[in-house]
Structure 1
Amino acid sequence: MLAVVLATMISTLSWAGPAEAHGTIVSPATRAYQCWQSWGSNHMSPLMQQQDPMCYQAFQSNSDTMWNWMSALRDGLGGQFQARTPDGQLCSNGLARNDSLNKPGAWRQTSLGANLSVKLYDHASHGADYFRVYVSKQGFNPATQSLGWGNLDFITQTGRYAPAQNISFTVSTSGYTGHHIVFFIWQASPLDQAYMWCSDVNFT
């Protein structure tokens, strides 16, 4: 099913050109990817406002955020993620065009247990120097609070991954229940390209 979805996406986004096609975490789905996956083929539907208000405000703010969900990168951060990404701008990776992704609210959530299987789709097959994974602290409310660095628990940093279109790894957590943000940093190889995303999850 994922292969069909991605094939459709690549056809739909072919106008963007290979220089703009990179990747994202598809599971648990990042905010922009979830909105594109849910509404990309039906983004004019009046039902979105009632059924998925956070995606609705995102499409209204800048629909390009969803159409180019693979391209939320910043160059040349040199690993200075916290110093160069202000609180409240983590989910947009500090990109003004993606500011709608920073809004607190009733984002759709992926239900999961303590162990989460993370899947990256990397159209350009960069590989990774590493991934960093964080979870919002217990008691932080993504529905009413903007995410800052102080709201995050650092969970793990992976090792390197060779170039591939699909990368998967497992992350173990404990002590989390309810709606949380899983915050990812992908330091892509071989250039200094950093991607940061928020995925909304429900720990059960």
Structure 2
Amino acid sequence: MKRPFSRTRRRLIPRALAALALALLAIVPLATAASAHGSVVDPASRNYGCWLRWGSDFQNPAMAQQDPMCWQAWQTDVNAMWNWNGLYREGAAGNFQAVIPDGQLCSAGRTEAGRYRAMDNPGDWKATNVRAGLTIKLQDQARHGADYILVYVTKQGFNPLTQKLTWGDLQLVTKTARYAPAEYYNIPVNLSGRSGRAVFYTIWQASHFDQTFFFCSDVNFT
């Protein structure tokens, strides 16, 4: 015959369950904050754009014809697309050219064990039509803040359809001051006289840690 619960034990069980629920609620926000970072959302970075257009339909074979560069990126590493906001390196100490070789700028030197390596491939990435005067919009999901943001653009004549990006292909457009933590940072740039295809290369030095994010955004100057 089983022994019935005592009144004391009956009271302890609900209290224990309540304590466990509170502990889980405390853990979930921390995990969410730790995994959230950000990206350039306008003009969309390669990784963000592929997630934005195909995240809800990434197994659609039509992507191969409609958006072939995103198709090869999804096929290379699905996790890179789901983690569109995690393209960063740690411990670079501002010496970016020393840790990111030519040809690997868009993957931040094949960071995260090469997860984002497809970002480096030249080809017909979807390009955002822009004017000479535009504002680059960076989303900081975790509100890390920014010590500074560097914006480069490829030199006139660079062809992203056939060339991998190198440091020598870039010219510095602007270096911002510090940004207090916020959800979005707006960086105005002006490139009068530009036309045709180009790539913006944005480097975001986060303030919370020596953690640096790198983004390639394909544009078409109209």
* TM-score normalised by length of structure 2: 0.83
How far residue 175 of structure 1 moved from its aligned partner, in angstroms, is 2.7
The amino acid across from 2:191 in the alignment is T
Alignment correspondent of 1:8: none
Alignment correspondent of 2:63: 48
Higher fraction of helix: 2
Residue 90 of structure 2: which of 60, 75, 80 is its match?
A: 75
| 2:164 is aligned with 1:111 | no
| 2:104 is aligned with 1:89 | yes
Residue 54 of structure 2: which of 35, 39, 47 is its match?
A: 39
Q: How does 1:40-189 map to 2 (within 5 A)?
A: 40-94=55-109, 95=111, 96-189=114-207
Separation in structure 1 between the aligned mates of residue 74 and residue 59 of structure 2, nearest angstrom = 9
Q: Higher Cα Rg: structure 1 or 2?
A: 2
How far residue 121 of structure 1 moved from its aligned partner, in angstroms, is 1.1
Separation in structure 1 between the aligned mates of residue 102 and residue 67 of structure 2, nearest angstrom = 25
The amino acid across from 1:163 in the alignment is P
* TM-score normalised by length of structure 1: 0.90
How far residue 202 of structure 1 moved from its aligned partner, in angstroms, is 0.2
Alignment correspondent of 1:22: 37
Structure 1's consecutive aligned runs of 4 or more residues displaced over 2 angstroms after TM superposition are none
The amino acid across from 1:22 in the alignment is H
Separation in structure 2 between the aligned mates of residue 175 and residue 141 of structure 1, nearest angstrom = 17
Structure 1: give runs of 5+ residues left out of the alignment: 1-13
CA displacement, residues 89-146 of structure 1 (integer Å, 9 cap, x when unaligned): 1001112110000000000000010112111111110110010011111111000000
| 2:211 is aligned with 1:196 | no
Q: Which secondary structure does the structure 2 equivalent of 1:29 belong to?
A: coil
Alignment correspondent of 2:10: none
How far residue 173 of structure 1 moved from its aligned partner, in angstroms, is 1.3
Q: Which secondary structure does the structure 2 equivalent of 1:83 belong to?
A: helix
The amino acid across from 1:89 in the alignment is Q
Separation in structure 2 between the aligned mates of residue 65 and residue 116 of structure 1, nearest angstrom = 28
The amino acid across from 2:48 in the alignment is Y
Q: Which secondary structure does the structure 1 equivalent of 2:151 belong to?
A: strand
How far residue 20 of structure 1 moved from its aligned partner, in angstroms, is 2.1
Q: Between Structure 1 and Structure 2, how many residues are aligned?
A: 190
Structure 2: give runs of 5+ residues left out of the alignment: 1-28
